[in-house]
């Protein structure tokens, strides 16, 4: 019986996934109940089993972004590391793994923020949360507060620059720059073993 009900109504995740895809494909204006119902081959009324209105769906979409991108960014900044280089490489996982940090989702939210002061405030709040996590990461390794803050901002806004500009950069070329990025952000040259662990997580080898 439950499966039959799901086939008629869908589920929270089905509606949210459809909204996510529409946001990425065409922006927030495309996230509307009737088009989503057609995409899912469900009735419009089935939407209201899970959400009170479109605003509730948009709120859930924003919460997913916060949980995925901001939540995982903070987790990587807080992850155990023996050295500051290893700590920065932990954060670099966000640059290369969309299951940790969804770059397309990030770009879509930033586009939405340009149309909505409320979403812009939400994005700005999350920026500060992410930067605070990076600042605390540098403070853990005894950087002075101003240095920790500036290095955190340099690291963070570099990532946002990649998200917003979508550079056509070969992966091998980008990987070849990793050690120098770490050195720029930390002032310390990473050790080979630290790089090897990072590259192993990407199923690559440090050249």
DSSP string across 149-179: HHHHHHHHHHHHHHHHH-----HHHHHHTHH
- Report pLDDT for 7: 53
- Report pLDDT for 203: 79
Q: Which long-range contacts (CB under 8 A, 24 or more apart) does 45-51 make?
A: 46/8, 46/9, 46/10, 47/15, 49/9, 50/9, 50/10, 50/11, 50/12, 50/15, 51/12, 51/15
- Report pLDDT for 27: 96
Scanning the structure block, which residue is given the tokens 């299951």? Answer: 99
- Report pLDDT for 172: 85
What is the pTM assigned to this prediction? Answer: 0.90
Each residue's pLDDT tens digit in the chain (207 positions)?
344 445 557 899 999 999 999 999 999 999 999 999 999 999 999 999 999 999 999 999 999 999 999 999 999 999 999 999 999 999 999 988 999 999 999 999 999 999 999 999 999 999 999 999 999 999 999 999 999 999 999 999 999 998 888 777 788 888 899 999 999 999 999 999 999 999 998 876 554
Contact indicator for 23, 116 with CB cutoff of 8 Å: no
CATH topology of domain 1-51: Arc Repressor Mutant, subunit A (1.10.10)
Let me know the angle formed at the C-alpha of 130 by 129 and 136, rounded to the nearest 5 degrees. Answer: 90
Between CA 161 and CA 122 the distance in angstroms is 19
- Report pLDDT for 3: 43
The Cβ-side half-sphere exposure at 77, using a 13 Å CA radius, reads 23
Domain ranges of the chain: 1-51, 65-201
**Orientation angle between helical segments 103-115 and 145-165, nearest 10 degrees:** 90
């Amino acid at each position: 019986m439950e499966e039959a009900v799901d086939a008629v109504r869908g589920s929270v995740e089905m509606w949210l996934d459809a909204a996510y895809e529409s946001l990425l494909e065409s922006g927030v204006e495309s996230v509307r109940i009737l088009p989503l119902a057609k995409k899912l081959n469900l009735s419009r009324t089935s939407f209201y089993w899970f959400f009170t209105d479109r605003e509730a769906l948009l709120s859930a979409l924003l919460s997913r972004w916060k949980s995925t991108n901001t939540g995982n960014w903070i987790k990587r900044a807080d992850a155990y590391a023996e050295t500051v280089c290893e700590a920065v490489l932990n954060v670099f996982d966000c640059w290369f793994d969309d299951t940790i940090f969804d770059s397309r989702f990030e770009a879509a939210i930033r586009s939405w923020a340009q149309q909505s002061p409320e979403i812009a405030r939400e994005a700005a709040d999350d920026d500060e949360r992410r930067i605070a996590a990076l600042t605390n990461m540098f403070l853990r390794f005894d950087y002075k507060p101003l240095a920790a803050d500036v290095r955190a901002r340099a690291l963070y806004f570099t990532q946002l620059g990649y998200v917003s500009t979508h550079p056509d950069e070969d992966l091998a070329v980008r990987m070849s720059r990793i050690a120098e990025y770490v050195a720029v952000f930390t002032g310390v040259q990473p050790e080979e073993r630290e790089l090897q662990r990072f590259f192993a997580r990407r199923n690559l080898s440090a050249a």
